[in-house]
Amino acid sequence: MEFEESGIGEECGVFGCVAAGEWPTQLEVAQVLTLGLVALQHRGQESAGIVTSDGASPPTYTAHKGMGLVSTAFPPEALLKLRYGNLGICHTRYSTTGISELQNCQPFVVDTLHGKIAVAHNGELVNAHALRKKVMRHGVGLSTSSDSELITQLLALTPPMEEVDAPDWVARIKNLMTETPTSYSLLMMFRDVIYAVRDPYGNRPLCIGQLVPISKLHTPGAGEEDTEGWVVSSESCSFQSIGAKYYREVLPGEIVQISRHGVKSLSVVPRPEGDLPAFCIFEYVYFARPDSIFEGQMVYTVRQRCGRQLAIEAPTDADVVSTVPESATPAALGYAQQAGLPYIEVLCKNRYVGRTFIQPNTRLRQLGVAKKFGALTDNFTGKRVVLVDDSIVRGNTISPIIKLLKEAGATEVHIRVASPPIRFPCYMGINIPTKEELIANKPEFQDIAGYIGADSVQYLTVEGLVSAVQEGIASLQEKDNMISTSNKPSRRVGHCTACLTGKYPVELEW
């Protein structure tokens, strides 16, 4: 919840769809794309865009972009315009690079030597400044401040091995991956295929789903003959709402071709020798929707494990466990289970307070958090409360909540945070306040309980967080090894904890 109030946000979400079988398709590709974006709305609310293609040679591209939420950006007439597509990609944006304007809205479409391409990406290039200079030295002008346009132009440039007749998109994508090691998951549409690409460190998520008839959605073993289409998404939470089954993740460094004929892995670009993957650990902590699956495990389950680990590391004498609605609820449930305490609700959230037309005056400002939350006093009066939150970023949100609970009858309020203190900025696609703004870097942090008015405050350790995340992956690998008859080595596991430790997966360029 503290993330929500502090301006910390995920950079964006990408989604793509290819209809299977004969074209023109009966599948409503534009509707699938729109519903996919709605399911990824938590990853960006600034703008949204869709580009569809008929997949012909040469293809006809149709695009629509708009500011605001998906529901605002795509009125019915816009979907009518997009309805003839056999494939398409789309994007919802929360800017970390580039200003908030329609011109920065993705996907970007550019002409290349071999025809148009459309590109959408999630992430932030760690060496964008140097790459912008390189592209401009080739005589290419950049019309926006977005990293995504930069990626599009890099793909449009001919790779070192000059092409004669046909474009070698694998070579071009590999060239891009050589130029910039992280952070990006991107979709590129060319003619009748979509290329799904994840950087070698796997910093941002990307997965593939199989569209099947509704009758086969909840039955095991839907075959290739049942496929109505293929989808690719930043998160698997988008699959249920469109009638798709989770198929698999795009691996770190992998280039996957998705066409009407199926899914084909074209190449895997390796990391430098010895480097581990660096999947963003805060996807698990906060950014992802709890029903999404990463690395074979559901986000909700990981958050529960974080809560259990927190109860082991930071126990306290209390009567009840609760949370600030609602992103930390799984962690609070895990804490309660491990501690053997009842989980109850102490706050009721007014979901519409942010949309009020009433202008704040002095009296309303003094009411502060009471405008947003109502205290469920019958549940906690005269009791000691453990309040679990996902993070304390600046400390200016949790303090009035503690005050509200104590004034409403809680005898003690103990804060337990289901992630370690954030101490460093992110340069890979997460919008985090400056180092100076973070409470963990201020003198007040030495007595943070006194500063925010709590009876005690304790955070989950970095080791505890990594353990909770990787426990499920190790368990899955163990099962795979028992089932598999091959001697194939287990997939290496690693997570980016740079915002917690200051140890970035690659050397940053300025």
pLDDT at position 112 is: 87
- Residue that is last in its domain, among 463, 482, 499: 463
Give pLDDT, residue 474: 79
Contact 283, 205 (CB under 8 A): yes
Residue 47 lies in a domain: yes
CATH number for the domain harbouring residue 443: 3.40.50.2020
Q: What does 65-131 look like in DSSP terms, one character per residue?
A: EEES-HHHH--HHHHHHTTT-SEEEEEEE--SSS-SSGGGPSPEEEEETTEEEEEEEEE--TTHHHH
Residue numbers belonging to the annotated binding site for [4Fe-4S] cluster: 280, 426, 496, 499
The answer to the question of residue 111 being in a domain is: yes
Question: Is 145 domain-assigned?
Answer: yes
Please name the residue that has the structure tokens 């070192």.
160
Do 20 and 129 fall into the same domain? yes
Instruction: Quote the CA–CA distance of 448 and 270 in Å, as a whole number.
Output: 43
How far apart CA 343 and CA 27 sit, in angstroms, is: 45
Q: For 451-488, what is each residue's pLDDT tens digit?
A: 999 999 999 999 999 999 999 997 777 666 555 545 55
Together in a domain, 449 and 311? yes
> Residue 486: inside a domain, yes or no?
no
**Residue at 421 is within a domain:** yes
Token pair of 232 as six digits = 């690719």
List binding-site positions for Mg(2+): 327, 389-390
pLDDT at position 491 is: 72
311 and 408 both lie in a single domain: yes
- Alpha carbon of residue 479 to chain centroid: 27
Please say which residue of 463, 482, 500 terminates a domain: 463
The answer to whether 18 and 230 have CB atoms below 8 angstroms apart is yes
What's the number of domains the chain is made of?
A: 2
Q: Are residues 65 and 187 in the same domain?
A: yes
- With respect to residue 8, please indicate whether it lies within any of the assigned structural domains: no
Helix, strand, or coil (residue 409): coil
- Are 377 and 248 part of one and the same domain? no
Quickly tell me which residue has 């391409």 as its tokens: 117
d(CA 167, CA 190): 10
Taking the C-alpha atoms of residue 51 and residue 53, their distance in angstroms, rounded to an integer, is 7
Residues 104 and 252 in one domain: yes
Amino acid at 433: P
Q: By percentage, how much of the chain surpasses pLDDT 70?
A: 88
- Do residues 87 and 185 both lie within one domain? yes
Residues of the binding site: 280, 327, 389-390, 426, 496, 499
* Contact between 173 and 195 (Cβ < 8 Å): yes
Residues of the chain scoring pLDDT < 70: 1-11, 95-100, 158-164, 221, 353-370, 433, 478-490, 509-510
60 and 121 part of one domain: yes
pLDDT for the residue 355: 40
Q: What is the pLDDT of residue 342?
A: 98
CA 129 vs. chain centroid, Å, equals: 24
Query: For the segment 33-42, what is each residue's pLDDT rounded down to a tens digit?
Result: 999 999 999 9
Model confidence, pTM: 0.92
Estimate the share of the chain in helix, then strand, then coil, as percent rounded to the nearest 5: 35, 25, 40
Same domain, residue pair 319 and 441: yes
Domain that includes residue 162, residue range? 13-275
Is 318 domain-assigned? yes
Number of residues written out for the chain: 510
Among 444, 463, 482, residue at a domain's last position: 463
CA atoms of 382 and 409, how far apart (whole Å)? 6
What are the DSSP E strand ranges found in 193-319?
Answer: 193-198, 207-211, 229-233, 244-249, 254-259, 262-268, 279-280, 293-294, 297-298
Q: Is-cis flag, bond preceding 58, omega within 30?
A: yes
| 216 and 310 share one domain | no
Tokens of 15: 């989604």
The CATH number given to whatever domain includes residue 85 is 3.60.20.10
Rounded Cα distance, 162 and 158, in Å: 6
Beta bridge partners of 66: 48
Q: Are residues 271 and 302 in the same domain?
A: no
* β-bridge mates for residue 374, sequence order: 348
DSSP 8-state code for residue 287: I
Rounded distance between C-alpha atoms, residue 141 and residue 148, angstroms: 14
Which residues are part of the catalytic machinery?
A: 12
Contacts of 447 (CB under 8 A, 6+ apart): none
Q: Are residues 302 and 270 in the same domain?
A: no
Find out whether 82 and 27 touch, Cβ atoms under 8 Å. Answer: no
Residue 510 within any structural domain of the chain: no
pLDDT at 357: 39
Question: What are the C-alpha distances in Å from 299 to residues 102, 283, 303, 360, 440?
Answer: 32, 8, 6, 37, 26
